[in-house]
Amino acid sequence: MASPCLERLDKASDEVIRRVLTALCESDHDIRKKASKCLDAFESEKKYESHIDGSERQQATGSGSGTKRKAEQALPEVYICENCGDGFLEEHNSDEACFHHPGNLGVDYASDFWADHDEDCHGTIDTAEMREEYPGGFRWDCCDEPGDGKQGCDYARHEAIAVKRRKTKEEMAKTAVSIDLTDD
């Protein structure tokens, strides 16, 4: 079910979307990384090149009759993989597209990494924030590799983050209930 924010984004012009995304990317490093990964998914496919380099936009708004033409090649949905965090297009999703760790990242108490860390003073070790900030102090239980080591140990298909796979407009019109989980 689409949130009111996603519905508003669906209705907004390309220029409004571009400005919103630019503002978000300028203010948030994580959003900038995710946006870059989504662009990477399109850049890997030559047939979407005109959409990435801006030439499609120039053609659509070019001189001629002054009416906006549809792009020659419709853009597919881009998804973010739940396992590896990469952006991907479904048409490129193969059994070996995603390289990730299928296990869990656990605290590496056996190493000297946390020797000087006092949880009463420095905070709890076993948190998502600590995994992000100090990956070297953790190990993957699937392969025993350090958390700051290689990107993965297993190949699989990309799995889209559930909220990203949006319903079509026709499916949304049939939906009776929508749930807004945003803070605003």
Global pTM? 0.58
Instruction: Give the C-alpha separation, 64 to 179, whole Å.
Output: 44
CB atoms within 10 A of CB 56: 19
Residue 89 backbone dihedrals phi, psi, to 5 degrees? -105, 140
106 has a pLDDT exceeding 90: yes
In this predicted structure, the answer to whether residue 60 has a pLDDT above a threshold of 80 is no
Question: Beta partners for 162?
Answer: none
The one-letter amino acid at 117: H
* Banded pLDDT at 165 (limits 50, 70, 90): very low
Coil, strand or helix: which one is 105? strand
Q: Which of 52, 38, 45 is nearest to 87 (CA)?
A: 38
> pLDDT tens for residues 113-146?
999 999 999 999 999 999 989 999 999 999 999 9
Q: Which residues contact 56 (CB under 8 A, 6 or more apart)?
A: 50, 71, 72
**Beta-carbon neighbour count of residue 65 at 10 Å?**
7
Any bridge partners for residue 140, and if so which? 105
Residue 170 has pLDDT above 70, yes or no: no
Phi, psi (deg, nearest 5) at residue 22: -60, -45
Question: Given a cut of 60, is residue 179 above it in pLDDT?
Answer: no
- Mean pLDDT on 33-44: 84
Candidate from 50-54, 73-77, 90-94, 100-104 with smallest mean pLDDT: 50-54
Residue 131 and residue 105 in contact, taking contact as beta carbons nearer than 8 Å:
yes
Q: What is the pLDDT of residue 177?
A: 41
Residue 37: is its pLDDT beyond 50? yes
Confidence category of residue 54, pLDDT binned at 50, 70, 90: low
- 171 falls in which pLDDT band (50, 70, 90)? very low
